[in-house]
Amino acid sequence: MLLGAHVSVAGGLHQAPLSGKRLGCSTIQIFTRNQRQWKARTLTAAEIEGFRSAIQSCGLESIVSHDSYLINLASPNKINLQRSREAFQDEVDRCDLLGISCLIFHPGSHLGSGEKEGLRRVADSLNWILDHRCQSATKLLIETTAGQGTNLGYKFEHLAEILCQIKKSSRMGICLDTCHLFAAGYDLRMVPAYKRTMKQLDDIVGLAQVKAIHLNDSMNELGSRVDRHENIGRGRMGLGAFHLLVNEEQFRDVPMILETPGGEDGYRRDLATLRDLLQPKFKKRQR
């Protein structure tokens, strides 16, 4: 089982793998640029080499990135849409330079133009990006959302509708966020509910499309449509869902990333909780 956390790049990109090693992670997630600014500084050769060397020396098995929160591939505003596409293209380039296998992103917000049109624009944006970066090795993973406001991606049907419009489907996948799923109304807490949700996911999107999972408890109730992360076992989801997920054979080689509160101390507690939930056959890969 690949367990890890979203770690900071403060002090330089090369610090992120060191943070992951310090936490005992086998996988990490990072931002490759300031996620709250449009303009990104170009990566230097020294930064790229330093990051790649740190990954190798720290023995991490998987690295994923999350894109900037400013990007909206569903925007009905032509200027903002093109700006988002170009910024996302830069995110892909940075992942390729750094050797990061997957780029996770929120599908975007339709901003009142309607879900169908919004989903079409997301698919068009992804096709544009894939055409412009046809040699890229980075997989693009659509993240499930809680469904706040006009955000897309809170239904499995949204993911399926986007994916079915992508020409180069082998470059795509999805990222499940447990807090987002729960807030969107997908229950994972007990075996019957977990099995129903997984069957829905498999029937509509396909379990094989799951290439990453964000492990977050939820501060809010099932179906609240509010995205508020909580530490593992301390929120409304409890430990049941996480016990089922970390022992799911289908997800054995899927990176599972924490985005929970509390910094490194919070991550240490949550990672220890998750490891305690692992069945013996899944513990072999843990540090």
Which residues form the catalytic set?
A: 36, 66, 69, 106, 143, 177, 180, 214, 227, 229, 259
Residue 110's contacts (CB-CB under 8 Å, 6 or more residues apart) are: 74, 76, 117, 118, 119, 121, 150, 152
Give dist(CA 82, CA 120) in Å, integer: 15
Report which of 68, 59, 67, 75 is spatially closest to residue 24, judged by C-alpha positions.
59
Query: Do the Cβ atoms of 188 and 241 come closer than 8 Å?
Result: yes
Collect all residues with Cβ–Cβ distance below 8 Å to 229 and sequence separation of at least 6. 179, 216, 217, 218, 219, 235, 259, 260, 261
DSSP state of 109: B
SS3 58: helix
Rounded Cα distance, 71 and 105, in Å: 9
What would you report as the CA-atom Rg of the chain, rounded to the nearest whole angstrom? 18
- Give the DSSP letter string of 193-244: HHHHHHHHHHHHT-GGGEEEEEE-EESS-TT-----EE-TTSSSS-SHHHHH
Determine the Cα–Cα distance for residues 239 and 223; give it in Å rounded to an integer: 18
CA angle (135, 127, 109) in 5-degree steps:
130
Phi and psi at residue 229, to the nearest 5°:
-75, 145
Q: Kind and range of the H or E element at 27?
A: strand 27-30
